[in-house]
Structure 1
Amino acid sequence: MSHPLEYNGSVNPSSPALEKGHLSNCCADVDAERQNFLDDHELGKKKYEAEYQQQGTASFGMSVFNLGNAIMGSGILGLSYAMANTGIALFVILLVAVLLFSLYSVHLLLKTANEGGSSVYEQLGYKAFGLPGKLATSCSITMQNIGAMSSYLFIVKYELPVVIQAFLGIKESTGEWYLDGDNLVLLVSLVIILPLSLLRNLGYLGYTSGFSLLCMVFFLVVVIYKKFQIPCPLPLEQDAVNATLNTTVSKMAAYFLEHVNNATDYSDDVCAPKYFVFNSQTVYAVPILTFAFVCHPAILPMYEELKDRTQKKMQNVANVSFLTMFIMYLLAALFGYLTFSDNVESELLHTYSKVYKFDVVLLVVRLAVLTAVTLTVPVVLFPIRTSVNQLLCASREFSWLRHIIITVVLIGGTNMLVILVPTIRDIFGIIGASSAAILIFILPSAFYIKLVKKEPMNSFNKIAATLFLCTGFLVMIGCMTLIVLDWINNTSGAH
C-alpha cells in the first residue's frame, strides 16, 4: 500500500499525515522511538482525543496521490496470475466487485470516524469493542504489514538472482551460492535491511513511497510494451534445451522436451484468451485482489490532513484514487496475461526471465523494483515494532536492547517465512484472505454498526452494513478453507 511498494496499512513517511505525527497506532505512552516521528506539539495528545478541529493542509490532488500510493503495491505483480486462473471476464467482474466493496468500506470508515470522534483505526476498535477491538485491529494491521514485508522479500528472492546473472553474464546457474534466492534474501536482510531498521529515525526514507509508485508505473509501461515484442507461443529457450540434451540420455531428453512444450504452451490454441476459467488456483484470485486494494488504515489519517475536509470530499478523493488504481491494475493484469497466457507465474516480473533474462529494459525495471522494496521493508517494519512496543511495554523507557531484539526477531521471522513458504502466491492468498478481508470488510462494518448510534438496526444503512459484515466473513472463511484444501491436495499429490 503505498507509499511503500505495498503500503498495506503501514505508515507512509512521505504523507502529510505522518509529517503531522498521526500514526495509526498512537497510544497514551509515547516511547522514545516514536518521538523521532512526532512533532513536539503532538506529544501531549490524549489517548483517544479527536483532532478534527485542527485544519488539514493537504490539497485534493496531493491526497489523491498519497492514497494512490497507499493502494499501489506488490499486489500488482500477482494480478496477471489471478486473471490466468479466472479468465478475463470473471477477473473483471471480481475486480469491479472488490473496487466497489473497497469504496463502500471507505464510506463506512469515514462515517464512523465522524460519529465516533476518532481518526485512528485502532482507536475506533477500542471505542467499539474495548481492548479486544483494539487488539484485533492492531493484530490485523500488523499481520497485513508482515505480509507486505514478506512479499517484498519474495521479490528479492525472485529477481536478485536474475539481476546478478545478467551482470555476470551467466546464462544458467550451476548451484552457485550467490545465485540462490534464499541466500540472497538473508544477505540483503543482514547487510542492508537490518542496519536501516535499527535506526530510530527513518524520516530520510520519506520519498521511498513516491519512488515505489514511479517504479510500478514504469513496470506497467514495460508490461504493455513487451506484449507487442514477445511472440505467442513463447519461444523455446534453446540454451536450456541444449543443456538438457547434453546431460541426459536421448530418451529422457525427448521426454523432457515434450514435457516442456506441453507446460510452456507451444500450440496456437494456448494463445487464445480465455474468458471464464475455473481450476484449483482460481481460489487465489479474490485474496490477491483484496491484498492489492487494502489501504484502509491510511484513510483516516489522510482524511484528517485533507484541507477543508468533508466526508464527501474525502470520499471523492477515494473514488479518484481507487478508480485510477483500478485502471492500472486492469491494464497490468490484461497485458501480462495476454503476453504469457496460462504460463504466467504468481509474480509477473519473474515470468519475463523465461524469454528475456538479459533484456536491458527489464533489467532496469528489476533494479528499480529491488531498490524500492529493499528500502521499503524498514519503513513497513517501523509501525510493527512500535505496535509490539506499545502492547508489551508501553510505559517503559526506550531500551536499545529491546529495540534490537524486536527488530531482529521481526526480520528473522519474516526471512524464515519467505524461505519456508513455496511461492509469493501463498503470501498473497493467506494475507489477502485473512487480514486484508478483515480490514476491508469486517472491521469497518462492525465499527459502523456499533458506533453509529443515531441509525436503528432496522435502517437501510445498518442492514447494508450487516450484509457487508456477513460477506466479509464468507470471503475470509471460504477463501481460507479452499486455500488450505489446495495446500493439502498439493502436499498429498507430492507424495
Structure 2
Amino acid sequence: MQMWILKTRTFYLNRMWGRRSMKLTLILLTFVSIFSLYSVHLLLKTANEGGSLLYEQLGHKAFGMVGKLTASGSITMQNIGAMSSYLFIVKYELPLVIQALMNIEDTNGLWYLNGDYLVLLVSLVLILPLSLLRNLGYLGYTSGLSLLCMMFFLIVVIFKKFQIPCPAEIAFLVNETVNGSLAQPAAFVGFNRTESDSCQPRYFIFNSQTVYAVPILTFSFVCHPAILPIYEELKGRSRRRMMNVSKISFFAMFLMYLLAALFGYLTFYEHVESELLHTYSSVMETDILLLIVRLAVLVAVTLTVPVVIFPIRSSITHLLCASKEFSWWRHSVITVSILVFTNLLVIFVPNIRDIFGFIGASAAAMLIFILPSAFYIKLVKKESMKSVQKIGAMFFLLSGIVVMTGSMALIVLDWVHNAPGGGH
C-alpha cells in the first residue's frame, strides 16, 4: 500500500514535532490516520456498489467527466508532490555524501557539490532511462528495498538519540571553550544557555507554522489511488480482508511516523531541521552509520521516482489519448515533461514545506476526505440519505471541505504575511 512513500515524509514529520509540539502532533497523527482508514472503508464499499476498481472510473460513474478529471488531477498532483519530496532528498543529501566520500572541506565553487546540478544530473542519467520503460517489472524489488531503508533509518534515529547530547549542552560547551578549539555547530549559533527549558519537550505550541500540520499529515497518509488496484489483485478478495490489510498497513505507517518523529524531536528539540539527516550533520563529524543511511535512502528514492512517474503518465495518456495506440514519441514527451516540471519545482521552490502544505491541503484532502465520501453518497444506492452510513459520509465530506478551504486559506495568509523560508 505504497509503504515506500514512508521514508520521505517521515523526515519532514520531525520538523513538525519541533515546530508544533509533542501532544499536538500526536493527536493530529492519530486523527488523520483514523480518518484515512475510514475513507478506505468508504472507497471499498463504493467500488463494490459502483462496479469499478479504478479511482478515475468511479469519478466518471459518479459525476461524469468532471468527476473523472477531478480524480485524475488530484492523483497527478499528489504523485508530483511525492516525486518532488524524493528529489528534494537527492538535492540535499547527495552533496553531503560526495563531500564525505571525497573528504572535501572547502566546498566553494565546486559544481558537483551543488544540489541543483546534482538533481538534474541524477534525473537525466538514472531516473529518465528507467522512467522510459513501458513496464515496471522491478516494482516489487523497489518497494521492498525502500521499506528496508525506512526501517534502517528508524533504527538509526532511535540509536542516535542515546548517543547525541542535548543541543543546549553542545552549545554550552562551545560557548565555554576559551581558545576556540571547538567549532560551534551552525545549527546552534547564538543559542542562549539561559534557556533552561530548551531540552524539555513542549506539549502544545501554536504559531505561524502550525497551519502546515494538518496538510502535511494528510499528505503523509494518502495511498488511496493504490487501494483499488491492490484490492483487485488480492487473492480471495473480500472487503473485510482488504480492510484487515489496510488496518495493518496504516498501523505500520502510524508507528513508523510516530517513532521517527518522536526520537528525532527528543534528540534535537526545537533545533531539528526540516530534513532530519541534515540536523545530524550540524552536531557531529562524518559518521559511517549516517553515511550508510544517506546512501541507502538516496538509492531508494532514486529508484522510486520512476515508479511514481508511471501512474502520472498513465493518467495523462488516458485523458488525452485514450483511443490511440502506443507511441514512443508521445510516451517520451510526457515522461520528459513530467520530469522537467518536477525538477523546476525542486530547484525554485525554497522549502519542501510549501509543496507538502499546498498539495496536502488540496489534492490529499480531495483523495482522503472529499472524493471517497462524495462517491459513496452518489453511487451507493441501497442506503437512504437518512441512514447512519450516509449521514456519516456527509459529515466526512463537509469535514473535508472545511479542512481543505481552511488549510488553503491559512497557508496563503502565511505566504503573504511571512517571508519565504530559506534553506531546506
TM class by shorter chain equals over 0.9
Alignment of 1:444-459 (within 5 A): 444-459=372-387
The alignment covers a number of residue pairs equal to 417
Q: Distance in 2 between matches of 1:446 and 1:288?
A: 23
Alignment of 1:266-281 (within 5 A): 267-281=195-209
Residue in 2 aligned with 1:89?
Answer: 23
Pair 187,488 (structure 1): closer, same or farther in 2 beyond 3 Å: same
> Which residue type is aligned with residue 421 of structure 1?
V
Q: Distance in 2 between matches of 1:114 and 1:397?
A: 31
Aligned mate of 1:397, from 303, 314, 325: 325
**Structure 2 residue 5 is matched with structure 1 residue 2:** no
Residue in 1 aligned with 2:163?
Answer: 229
Alignment of 1:83-482 (within 5 A): 83-233=17-167, 235-236=170-171, 260-262=189-191, 267-482=195-410
> Which residue type is aligned with residue 120 of structure 1?
L
Pair 273,374 (structure 1): closer, same or farther in 2 beyond 3 Å: same
CA contact (8 A) 2:218 2:360 kept: yes
CA contact (8 A) 1:166 1:357 kept: no
SS in 1 for 2:191: helix
CA contact (8 A) 1:237 1:355 kept: no
Q: Deviations over 1:172-195 (max 9, x none)?
A: 522321111111111111111112
Q: Distance in 2 between matches of 1:224 and 1:172?
A: 31
> Which residue type is aligned with residue 280 of structure 1?
S
Superposition deviation, residue 105 in structure 1? 0.5
Q: Distance in 2 between matches of 1:171 and 1:371?
A: 24
Superposition deviation, residue 205 in structure 1? 4.3
> Which residue type is aligned with residue 134 of structure 2?
R
Superposition deviation, residue 223 in structure 1? 0.5
Residue in 1 aligned with 2:12?
Answer: 78
Superposition deviation, residue 231 in structure 1? 0.5
Q: Distance in 2 between matches of 1:361 and 1:373?
A: 18
Q: Distance in 1 between matches of 2:390 and 2:140?
A: 40
**Unpaired segments ≥5 residues, structure 2:** none
Let me know the Cα RMSD of the aligned residues: 2.6
> Which residue type is aligned with residue 314 of structure 1?
M
Superposition deviation, residue 266 in structure 1? 8.1
CA contact (8 A) 1:347 1:424 kept: no
SS in 1 for 2:382: coil
What TM-score results when the alignment is normalised by the length of structure 2?
0.92
Q: Distance in 1 between matches of 2:23 and 2:106?
A: 38
Q: Distance in 1 between matches of 2:210 and 2:341?
A: 29
CA contact (8 A) 1:73 1:292 kept: no
Q: Distance in 1 between matches of 2:328 and 2:49?
A: 40
> Which residue type is aligned with residue 10 of structure 2?
I
CA contact (8 A) 1:156 1:370 kept: yes
**Unpaired segments ≥5 residues, structure 1:** 7-71, 246-253
Q: Distance in 1 between matches of 2:367 and 2:360?
A: 10
What TM-score results when the alignment is normalised by the length of structure 1?
0.79
Q: Distance in 1 between matches of 2:187 and 2:378?
A: 60
CA contact (8 A) 2:188 2:271 kept: no
Pair 87,307 (structure 1): closer, same or farther in 2 beyond 3 Å: same
